[in-house]
Structure 1
Amino acid sequence: MNIDFSEVLNKFEPKGVSDLLIGVDGNGELHSHHFLHKNNLLIVGQTGSGKSVAMHQMVLSGMFNKSPRDIQFVFYDPKRVDYLEYKNSPFLMKDIMYHTEELEEYLIELTAILDKRMKQFVNTKTIDIERYNKYARENDLEEFPYIITVIDEIAVPSCESPEIQEHLVRIMQKSRAVGIHFIIGTQTPRRDVITGALKANMLSRIAMKVSGETESMIAIDELGAEQLNGRGDMIYKVDGRSELLQSSYVSEENIETLCDYFNTKYSI
């Protein structure tokens, strides 16, 4: 079943800056993932499952409903093909990363950003990004944008640099309140890729079609993802509950059209 992306995008009403569209249920109701409240999101799916399309859906829904002052995205794409249309986007915090070394350097930079934000929270006696930004608007201070880092395939850097997951876990343990979040994907749900430490900091998960029961258990701690049909159907697990959803279909034309629109709107 193909669900028209343009239709659901126009119907989607986010509940906050970091609330991104993820799918539609059997009754036609839209579902989203609010990163400030639900935090980081792990997405697992084999080739042809619709994993990359679902990630585009989330990213574009954030860009469509907010401005670059509100939300910024960072992409790590070792395949070098999935995010080229975003190359000159006003929503990009930095150039698209293709190499493990670039990702490792970025995570060090992100740690410094996290520490700076936490110090500002202490100085302003605020406890999260929403309250800080409200204080900043009222006191003529710089507001902090949400930063959502999309790691399209975590298996590559995990194999090339053991320190990558250590950096990720350290950031994830402290980053929720300061508006720093991750969408991490993989086609390879093995235990050496989706480690216990990583899973402990990514309690919100999406499983799309996987090859077997073992992969489903690693991804969402339950069976079922191996029985999905692919092409965008998913099990979304959050707060211990699982929902069967369907991602809309995001075409290359959708991506190109929207990216051109954003570039024109924000004069890039």
Structure 2
Amino acid sequence: MNLWATLQARKRLINAFKHAEIYRMTGESYIFPTIRNVELTDDYTKFTLRLPTGLDPDLLTDNLYVFQQVFGSNVVIDGEIKYFTITVYRKGLPKNVPYNLVEWQPIIERMTLPIIVGRDRNNQPQAFDLTDYPHLLLSGETGSGKSSLLRIILTSLMLTKSPDDVRFILGDLKRSEFGIYRNVKHVDGVHVTPRTLLPALRLIKVEMERRGNLLDKNEVTHIKELPDKLPYIIVAIDEVALLRQEREIMNIVEDISSIGRSLGVHLMLSMQRPDSKVLEGRLKNNLSVRISGRQSNKRNASVADAEGAETIKITDKGRMIFVLDEPIEVQSPWLEYDEAKRLLEPLKVQRFSDVAKFEDETEDVLRFEFGILEAIENEQT
């Protein structure tokens, strides 16, 4: 039975090669890609291929629609240059994944900084620990579900970790995403202009230097090895492309990407359309995790380092390409803004007795500055 099923699968794949004209001709003979292995499971059929020398690898991905016409819509092509896999899943991704933090507890409870991503084609939960993969780029067109996923990531961290575990500096340059986190006790600042974001990042730079000195003094390589616990710091900036002209800010962001991991300082950067001028050099190289919703074309998907994001349908909200070790397609959960606001309400505190004396952003900077200077003074005494 398995042999017959394997032969039938190979026959259908060769038929797809013919329709897509993925072959070379020698005289009147077709030279198709070599099918090196066919793996049949209850969940998928996976073909392992080697392309003939001289055959354009883009022929496979450019003709994804042909494979979908032959095998159905749940086809994933992965590989490069010469070696590829084509995986045909029995089931598609779930259309909707409601946000329920309790369901994620078994997979994230042992993580230091758990990042919830979504469910894969086998309905398995996908998450990772930001301390293992220290910096995240989240991208996707308007309506792709990027904002909801960012909301889930931040809200889940605040609900599952104490303010002694993790602190946040938030840059909300479009004034649309991070307002609900203002006055949450984990959050040391919500900044909507470069004017107040820059002083906060300068203090992060001071704090990184202080933490580096502590590592040297104690002869350890990570803050978790220090005798006194330090909170992790997450710098999350929505629509970071708006800062492309802010050279000092971007220099500090790049510094965090280079040396932040051992110091417990991590980045979450998001943008709608990937900008190659922002994502260049060491910053792009150090963004160890990419999550992308729909991209309008292959070039944007390439800049986002999320191959396949251009194939996501505009109607598939919450569909993401998740790139950790290798790209996989997931359906991210959905969390409404008002629901996140309700969940966060018990975590909110009044910062000052007379808030009217302070512009909100100035209040954030003063509070954050006081916290770092107090830590430095305590260390010196």
TM-score bucket (shorter structure) = 0.7 to 0.9
- Secondary structure of the equivalent of 2:323? strand
Q: State the distance in 2 between where 1:256 and 1:168 align.
A: 28
Please state whether the residue corresponding to 1:5 is helix, strand or coil: coil
Counterpart CA distance in 1 for 2:110 and 2:127 is: 9
Q: Is the 8 A contact 1:203 1:238 kept in 2?
A: yes
Contact 1:235 1:243 in 2 (8 A): yes
1:191 aligns with 2:276: yes
Gaps of 5+ in 1: 137-142
1:52 to 137, 144, 147: 147
Give me the identity figure in percent: 25
State whether structure 2 residue 115 is matched by structure 1 residue 20: yes
Moved more, 37-46 or 24-33: 24-33
Equivalent residues in 2 for 1:54-203, closer than 5 Å = 54-94=149-189, 96-132=190-226, 135-136=227-228, 143-158=229-244, 160-203=245-288
Contact 2:99 2:334 in 1 (8 A): yes
SS of 1:36's partner is coil
Work out whether residues 204 and 237 of structure 1, in 8 Å CA contact, stay in contact via their aligned partners in 2.
yes
2:256–2:267 CA contact under 8 A, matched in 1:
no
Deviation at 1:123, TM superposition (A): 1.9
Shift of residue 194 of structure 1?
1.9
| Higher strand proportion | 2
Contact 2:258 2:282 survives alignment (8 Å):
no
The verdict on how the C-alpha distance between 1:231 and 1:243 changes in structure 2, with shifts beyond 3 A counting, is same
1:252 and 2:347 aligned: no
Deviations 1:187-245 (A, max 9, x none): 1212113223321111311111111100001111x531011134111111123x11111
Q: Provide the aligned C-alpha RMSD in A.
A: 1.7
Alignment check: 8 A CA contact 1:17 1:62 kept: no
Letter in 1 for 2:345: D
1:213 to 274, 298, 303: 298
Residue 11 of structure 1 deviates from its aligned partner by: 5.2
Q: 1:227 aligns with which of 295, 311, 329?
A: 311
Whether the 8 Å contact between 1:9 and 1:61 is mirrored in structure 2 is: no
> Which of 29, 37, 57 is matched with 2:124 structurally?
29
Which structure is larger by alpha-carbon Rg, 1 or 2?
A: 2
Which deviates more, 193-202 or 177-186?
A: 193-202
5+ residue gaps, structure 2, are 1-94, 350-381
Contact 2:292 2:321 in 1 (8 A): yes
Q: What CA deviation, in whole Å up to 9, does each residue of 1:69-114 have, x standing for no partner?
A: 10111210111121111111011022x1011222222221111111
Q: Write the letter of the residue equivalent to 1:61.
A: S
Letter in 1 for 2:284: K
Between the aligned partners of 2:272 and 2:115, the Cα distance in structure 1 is 22
Provide the C-alpha distance between the structure 1 equivalents of 2:215 and 2:130, rounded to a whole number of angstroms: 19
Q: Which stretch shifts more, 60-69 or 193-202?
A: 193-202
Q: What is the TM-score when the length of structure 2 is the normalising length? A: 0.63
Provide the TM-score with structure 1 as the length reference: 0.88
Residue pair 1:235, 1:244 contacting (<8 A) in 2 also: yes
Asked if structure 1 preserves the Cα contact closer than 8 Å seen for 2:117 and 2:127, the reply is yes
Q: Which has the higher contact order (CA 8 A, sep 6+)?
A: 1
* Residue correspondences, number: 252
Call closer, same or farther: CA 1:157–1:44 in 2, change over 3 Å: same
Amino acid across the alignment from 1:33: F
